Structure 1
Amino acid sequence: MSLRKLLMAATALVVLSGCASLQEPRAAAPGVPNPAHVDQVLKGFTDTGKLVGVSALVTENGKEVYFGAFGAADREAGRKMARDTIVSIYSMTKPITGVALMSLWEEGKFRLDDPVAKYIPELANVKVYAGTDASGAPILTAPNRPMTIRDVARHTAGLTYCSKDNLPELKAGCDAANPLALSHSLDDFAKALGSLPLEYQPGEKWRYSFGVDVQALLVQRISGKPFAQYVQEKILTPLHMTDTGFFVPPEKRDRLAAIYERDEDGTFTRKIDDTSITLNTGHWAMTPGGFGLTSTLDDYSRFARMLAGGGELDGVRILKPATVKLMSTSVLDPAVTERSWLPSKGTVGFGIDFAVRTDPPQTADEAAGEVGEFFWDGAAYTLFWVDPKNKLTAVFFTQYQPFGKVPAHKAFRDAVYAGVDPSALPPQ
């Protein structure tokens, strides 16, 4: 065990000082996460009120080496976080959309450098914002080049979201167009998006965006099937991801986790179900590619294990190994230096719908991980990663917003990679 890893594990324990002792410590096999240590870290978050509920599942070489669930999935109903709890995975929908798109690429149905407008003509005439004139009106110019499918897969298309990260001059127009309104179909989404200017020239910056929702429409147009149907037939059904989808049927609602808002004082207020889970409890025209799926630990672990297996799980092949490698290799040009908040994820680049670790952690403040791992997370602070070097996958669930106010991702990562009994750490 390197000194760096020991220190990182110790740091995680310091963050969670005061967490409850385990009644029945479990031994770890050599080279795999120590379950007692990971338990102590995760349980510490719920015991101290830093999270309402948390669960995690880790596999190595395709075998489960850790599972734990602590706290509440629904505090008000007195329902515990459990292995079969269904959670809103938000942007962890994006890798599933990317796999759907790349399955069509494997079939030769498109090229990554095809202009998006070849398949979505609604985006053929978009302009690029270039500031304002003397009267304050926006100046719009033609793109230097068309946005490509590769651009929308790596968030370099010129698109953003209607969010606080938007340019203030454009946010009002984006809000008014509301491209991802639940009443919109993906075709309506394209029309609304086509009415908005790009915020930068394609290829110049990395900005999180509607790009993966564009991918969903590409899947729909190229395959000739509704996006949700294609995902079901190509990914969810073959992988036996039986609890993953846009709609949670009534008979499963008692397994659906509540979502909580973390207040400034560290307390949690339950978000109103009518707004927080509306998409998943009704049938809507919108089936976005960038968010919207719900899933369970076991379901998403199956997806992660498929990726770890080079596109195959239990004899079912979803993608070719070379395609998974392409998706999990950073394709960000070093000249793309404006990368928004992506550097907050660590020393990473970006592939096709995955962040990719390109260098070891540079400081003790950076979460543990291995070069070559690929991962993504979700707005309710869910997380998964695939570590090819150690043949490891990990899925982490909790349900709170705003993202990142509790450092649980780092603590969980550090605990997984520590692989030591906490009692063996140097005294604090």
Structure 2
Amino acid sequence: MKELQRREMLEEALDRFAEGWIAPDNIPGMAVRIKHRGNTLYDKCFGFMDYGQTKPMERDTICRIYSMTKPVTAVAVHILIERGLLEYHAPLKEYLPEFSHMMVQTREGLVPARRDIELLDLLRMTSGIVYPDNYMDAATLVMNQSFERIHERLRSGEVISTRDMVREIAKNPLAFHPGEGWRYGFSADVMGAVIEVVTGMSLGEFYRREIFGPLEMWDTDFRVPEGKLHRLADLYECTVRGDRRQTTPADCFVLGMSDDTACPGFEAGGAGLYSTLEDYSHFVDMLVQGGIYKEERILGRKTIELMTTNQLTEQQKRTITDQFVTGNGYASFQRVFEDRAVYGGSGTPGEFGWSGWTGPYEAVDQEEEFSIVMLMQVRDYDVISLYRRIRNIAYAMI
């Protein structure tokens, strides 16, 4: 089969695949862009962005990207590292004194942490700081209770700043001693507060000046202005009953965040951004090109190498239970691809990226000059197979 025919066949396969997942009670809308060596191989939108199924999903549809905020925070941190304002092994307490004298929740009770949390622990999720989620360990149960109280305060109209939110997080015990395990949690949000302290700016102000402006990401921010609300996608959540999956409208009030038209008090460096397929593709293009966007350097080539080299020890890897990291290492709030056999799909060692709670996904392959960006708006969807299938088709295109 000739190469052009093969590519057309694969594009049609991806069309059929995506259309097979699109339905009001499954994935209502999706946008996908695949690029290789500066050329767009695939760029299509499917389904609808609204509950009423009247507004088609578009490249400028604004989506909550949740944890795909984390790679942006990683770039911000490394901009400051390049300027000598931060370094990996600096103690967190130097910037946020509330993280002095942290306690660790063990089976025997609370014990003092064996060492201080370092900035590297935040970047590689080895700090011991947890999320409020469905883990059943004691540290998570305490964090869940803490965030129930925080949500009550927010629902009453109280404004809680990024610094105040992080002070509340610091009151909770760690799940393990710093550096002795891996656990997905509020580490990126804590890093956001570090950025605010070092720069003297709000997180959003620093991102707009150093990242969003230079990358022409005009629709990316911690809020959606009134004039753009008509482009904000509705939010869904997925529930599973037996062998049936159902997608229904969802509450956007989670993790201390809600849909804001004004600048929110808490600008969450781990999950707070809104973006579009077009905007986030600019961010990914910069990473593919080794830190350059339209001939302007945002980040140094060697700095990106530092940012995307696995930071976990073998002992730390053995503590990972998160299936999003299977077959990967982890560095600076992102997975780093290592093993095709363990992952169970296509990839290049060293390729990196992350995803979000509502299903958005990015993959950056510098060796192949290849990238995938996908946006959707369904929380708690079982996306692992979806990602793997899209990757397999996309990599076959090159």
Give me the TM-score of the superposition, normalised by structure 2.
0.90
CA shift, 1:358, in A, is: 1.2
Indicate conservation of the 8 Å contact 2:139/2:172, yes or no: no
Deviation at 1:63, TM superposition (A): 2.3
Q: Summarize deviations over 1:259-295 as a string: whole Å, max 9, x none.
A: 1122323232112467798333343211010001111
Q: CA deviation at 1:45?
A: 1.2
Tell me the distance in 1 between the aligned counterparts of 2:106 and 2:361. Answer: 36
Alignment of structure 1 residues 186-335 onto 2, 5 Å: 186-264=162-240, 265-272=244-251, 278-335=258-315
C-alpha distance in 2 between matches for 1:379 and 1:301: 19
CA distance in 1 between counterparts of 2:268 and 2:149 reads 10
Q: Are the equivalent residues in 1 in contact too, given 2:235–2:378 (CA < 8 A)?
A: yes
Q: Does 1:387 align with 2:360?
A: no
Give the direction of change, closer, same or farther, for the CA distance of 1:30–1:387 in structure 2 (3 Å limit): farther
With 45-54 and 141-150 compared, the bigger mean Cα shift is at: 45-54
The farther-off stretch of 48-57 and 172-181 is: 172-181
> What does residue 150 of structure 1 align with?
120
Point out where structure 1 has 5 or more consecutive residues left out of the alignment. 2-26, 133-138, 421-428
Q: 2:360, 2:376 within 8 Å by CA — same for their partners in 1?
A: yes
Q: CA deviation at 1:328?
A: 0.9
Q: Quick one: which amino acid aligns to residue 183 of structure 2?
A: R
Note closer, same or farther for the CA distance 1:299–1:33 as it changes in structure 2 (3 Å cut): farther
Decide whether the 8 Å contact of 1:346 with 1:367 is kept in 2. no
Alpha-carbon offset, residue 200 of structure 1: 0.2
Mapped partners of 1:280, 1:150: distance in 2 = 31
The CA deviation at 1:296 is: 0.6
Residue 67 of structure 2: SS of its match in structure 1? Answer: helix
Of the three residues 336, 354, 358, the one matched with 2:338 is 358
Q: Residues 290 and 366 of structure 2 are in contact (CA less than 8 Å); yes or no, is this contact kept in structure 1? A: no
Report the 3-state secondary structure (helix = DSSP H, G, I; strand = E; otherwise coil) of the residue aligned with 1:232: helix
Paired with 2:347 and 2:215, the residues of 1 have a C-alpha distance of: 27
C-alpha separation in 2, matches of 1:240 and 1:46: 30
User: Once the 2 structures are TM-superposed, how far is the Cα of residue 208 of structure 1 from its aligned partner?
Assistant: 0.3
Alignment map for 1:17-32 (pairs within 5 Å): 28=4
Conserved 8 A contact 2:217-2:282: yes
Shift of 1:93: 0.3
Indicate conservation of the 8 Å contact 2:189/2:270, yes or no.
Answer: yes
- Per-residue CA deviation, residues 9-53 of structure 1 (Å, 9 max, x unaligned), is xxxxxxxxxxxxxxxxxx858889932222221112116964211
Shift of 1:398: 1.2
The residue type paired with residue 176 of structure 1 is: S
Residues 33 and 65, structure 1, Cα contact 8 Å, conserved in 2: no
Q: Aligned with 2:349: secondary structure?
A: coil
User: Which of residues 343, 346, 365 is equivalent to 2:326?
Assistant: 346
Instruction: State the percentage of identical aligned residues.
Output: 28
**Which of residues 129, 143, 155 is equivalent to 1:159?**
129
- What are the superposed Cα offsets for residues 329-381 of structure 1, whole Å, 9 maximum, x if unpaired? 10100121443333444310001111001122347xx2322211001000001
Letter in 2 for 1:334: E
Letter in 2 for 1:393: S
CA separation of 1:414 and 1:166: change in aligned 2, threshold 3 A: same
Q: Relative to structure 1, is the Cα distance of residues 164 and 113 closer, same or farther in structure 2, using a 3 angstrom cutoff?
A: same
Secondary structure of the corresponding residue to residue 267 of structure 1: strand
In the alignment, which of 75, 81, 88 is matched to residue 112 of structure 1?
Answer: 88
Superposition RMSD in Å = 2.5
Matched-pair contact (CA < 8 Å) for 1:88–1:380: yes
Cα separation, 2, equivalents of 1:356 and 1:249:
34
Contact 2:223–2:264 (CA<8 Å) still a contact in 1? no
SS in 2 for 1:73: coil
Task: Choose from 77, 95, 102 the match for 1:126.
Answer: 102
CA distance in 2, matches of 1:219, 1:275: 23
Say which one has the larger Rg. 1
Change (3 A) 1:141 1:269: same
Cα distance change of structure 1 residues 160 and 228 upon mapping to structure 2, 3 Å threshold: same
- For residues 397 and 35 of structure 2, what CA distance do their matches in structure 1 show? 13
Instruction: Please tell me whether the aligned partners of residues 41 and 415 of structure 1 are also in contact (alpha carbons under 8 angstroms).
Output: no
- Which secondary structure state, in structure 2, belongs to the residue aligned with residue 361 of structure 1? helix
Instruction: Please say if residues 353 and 362 of structure 2, whose CA atoms lie closer than 8 Å, have aligned partners that are also in contact.
Output: yes
What's the counterpart of residue 66 of structure 2?
A: 90
Q: Which aligned pairs between 1:380-419 and structure 2 lie closer than 5 A?
A: 380-404=358-382, 407-419=385-397
Q: How far 1:249 moved relative to its partner?
A: 1.1
2:28, 2:53 → 1: CA distance?
A: 13
2:237 counterpart letter in structure 1: E
Amino acid paired to 2:359: Y
Which of 330, 336, 350 aligns to 1:372? It is: 350
8 Å CA contact 1:346–1:361 kept in 2: the answer is no
- Give the AA of the match of 1:103: I
